[in-house]
C-alpha cells in the first residue's frame, strides 16, 4: 500500500475532506485537469462551509486552495486524491481511475484507494548498463515515478591503468559499481521490499545478480539495454514480464488455501468473514480479481445488495482494509480457481 495512504487512513478528526479527481497522463486531457480540480475545490468549499464549524472551515478551505496550487499536472497518473483537515494537507497520485467527488467525514476516504493499491502490482524496474543505473517505480502498466533519491547513478569506478587484462579491469569496475548500486537499492527497499525487475543485457544482469544482496526480491529480467529510453516505454516492455510473475506468485499461494480447506480453517460466508476479520482471526483473504460486492452492515451482519446500488460501499474493500489493520493480507486470483467459493474466501489463523 502507498505509505501516505497507510498513514492517512489512521487519522480521525471532526472534518476530514477527501477530493478525488480522474486525471490524464498527457495533453490535451491533463490540460483540463486543472479546471476540473478547481470545480471540485469550489464544491469542497461549499460543503465544508455547510458541514464544519466556521473557524475550522475557513482554515481547511485555505489549506485546500494552497495544496491544489502546488500540483504539477504534467506528472498526472489516472487519478488524484487530496486529503485535508485542520492538521493535514497531502495529495496522492493514483494509478487507477476514480470518480470525481468530494467526501467529508470523520476519516479520510481511503478504502477504495487501499484496495486499488493492493490489487495492482507495485514494483521497481532497475534499468542497468555498465555505465549507468536508473530506478523506475511502476504500478501495473503505468509509470508512477522515476526515483531521484540516489539515482540515476553513474559508474565512477573506472578501470585503473596497469598490466592487467583490460576485460579483467572492466569486470572489477563493474563489480565495484554493482556493489555500490546494490547498497543504494537496499536503502530504497528498506521497509518496502517491492519486487525488482532488471532491465539490462543478459551479461550485465548476470554480473549484477552475482554480487546482489539477496534480501531484496529480484523478480526477473527484461532483456536489453534501455538506459536512455523514456520511462513509460521501459514500463511498457517490463509489464508483460511483471504481470506474468505476479499471477504465478499469486497462484502459487493457492496451496495455502488448499491446506486451510483441509484443516477447516476457512470461511466463505460474508458475515462470518467480516466477524472473523474484526476479531483478528483473518490471515489471508483470497479474492477473484475485479470482484466487487456492495453491502450494508447492520448489527455486524453483512446484507448484500444489488451491484447497481451506487450509494453502498463495496464490502470486499472494507474487508481488505480491516484485514490489513490486523496484519492479514490479500491475494487476487485472475482465473476461475475461486469460482467454487463464489470469488471470496478467508483463510483464518485458527
CATH number, domain with residue 167: 3.30.420.60
- Tens digits of residue pLDDT in 95-135: 777 889 999 999 998 877 888 878 889 899 999 999 999 99
Can you give the pLDDT at residue 214?
67
Domain match, 231 and 290 both: no
More confident residue, 160 or 197: 197
Residues 14 and 35 in one domain: yes
Enclosing domain of residue 22? 3-118
Give the lowest-confidence range in 41-55, 96-110, 302-316, 320-334: 302-316
> How high is the pLDDT of residue 170?
47
- Residues 207 and 109 both lie in one domain: no
Residues 298 and 339 in one domain: yes
In the predicted structure, residue 192 carries a pLDDT above the cut 60: yes
Smallest Cα–Cα separation from 196: which of 258, 147, 251?
147
pLDDT band per the 50, 70, 90 thresholds, residue 162: very low
Question: What is the pLDDT, as a whole number, of residue 46?
Answer: 95
Name the domain count of the chain.
3
Pairing of strands 329-333, 89-94: unpaired
**CATH classification of the domain holding 321:** 3.30.1330.30
pLDDT number for residue 160: 47
Segments of 160-234 assigned E as strands: 196-200, 218-223
Cβ count near 6 (within 10 Å): 13
Under 8 Å CB-to-CB from 74, ≥6 apart: which residues? 30
Return the CATH number at 42. 3.30.960.10
Instruction: Find residue 125's DSSP bridge partners.
Output: 136, 197
**Residues 136, 246 within the same domain:** yes
Peptide bond into 152 cis (omega under 30): yes
Domain boundary among 221, 250, 279: 250
Whether 158 shows a pLDDT value over 70: the answer reads no
Contact of 174 with 130, CB cutoff 8 Å: yes
Chain Cα centroid distance, residue 111: 13
Return phi, psi of residue 197, to 5°: -105, 135
Q: Indicate the range of 22-26, 156-160, 322-326 predicted with least confidence.
A: 156-160
Amino acid at each position: 500500500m502507498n505509505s501516505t495512504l497507510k498513514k492517512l487512513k489512521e487519522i480521525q478528526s471532526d472534518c476530514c475532506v477527501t477530493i478525488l479527481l480522474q486525471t490524464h497522463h498527457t495533453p490535451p486531457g491533463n490540460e483540463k485537469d486543472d479546471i476540473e480540480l478547481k470545480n471540485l475545490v469550489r464544491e469542497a468549499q461549499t460543503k465544508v462551509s455547510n458541514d464544519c464549524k466556521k473557524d475550522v472551515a475557513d482554515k481547511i478551505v485555505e489549506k485546500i486552495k494552497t495544496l491544489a496550487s502546488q500540483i504539477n499536472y504534467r506528472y498526472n497518473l489516472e487519478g488524484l486524491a487530496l486529503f485535508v483537515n485542520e492538521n493535514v494537507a497531502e495529495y496522492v497520485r493514483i494509478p487507477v481511475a476514480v470518480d470525481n467527488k468530494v467526501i467529508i467525514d470523520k476519516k479520510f476516504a481511503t478504502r477504495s484507494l487501499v484496495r486499488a493499491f493492493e490489487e495492482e502490482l507495485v514494483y521497481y524496474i532497475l534499468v542497468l548498463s555498465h555505465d549507468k543505473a536508473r530506478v523506475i517505480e511502476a504500478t501495473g502498466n503505468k509509470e508512477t515515478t522515476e526515483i531521484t533519491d540516489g539515482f540515476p547513478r553513474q559508474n565512477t569506478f573506472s578501470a585503473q591503468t596497469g598490466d592487467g587484462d583490460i576485460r579483467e579491469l572492466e569486470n572489477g569496475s563493474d563489480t565495484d559499481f554493482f556493489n555500490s548500486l546494490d547498497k543504494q537499492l537496499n536503502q530504497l527497499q528498506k521497509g518496502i521490499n517491492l519486487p525488482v525487475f532488471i532491465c539490462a543485457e543478459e551479461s550485465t544482469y548476470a554480473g549484477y545478480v552475482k554480487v546482489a544482496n539477496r534480501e531484496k526480491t529480484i523478480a526477473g529480467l527484461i532483456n536489453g539495454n534501455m538506459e536512455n529510453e523514456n520511462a513509460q516505454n521501459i514500463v511498457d516492455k517490463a509489464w508483460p514480464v511483471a504481470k506474468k510473475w505476479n499471477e504465478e506468485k499469486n497462484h502459487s499461494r493457492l496451496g495455502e488455501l488448499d491446506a486451510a480447506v483441509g484443516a477447516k480453517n476457512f470461511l466463505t460466508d460474508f458475515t462470518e468473514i467480516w466477524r472473523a476479520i474484526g476479531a483478528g482471526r483473518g490471515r489471508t483473504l483470497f479474492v477473484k480479481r475485479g470482484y466487487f460486492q456492495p453491502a450494508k452492515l447492520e448489527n455486524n451482519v453483512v446484507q448484500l445488495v444489488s451491484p447497481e446500488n451506487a450509494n453502498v460501499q463495496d464490502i470486499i474493500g472494507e474487508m481488505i482494509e480491516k484485514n490489513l489493520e490486523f496484519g492479514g493480507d490479500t491475494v487476487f486470483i485472475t482465473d476461475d480457481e475461486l469460482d467454487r467459493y463464489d470469488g471470496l474466501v478467508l483463510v483464518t489463523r485458527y
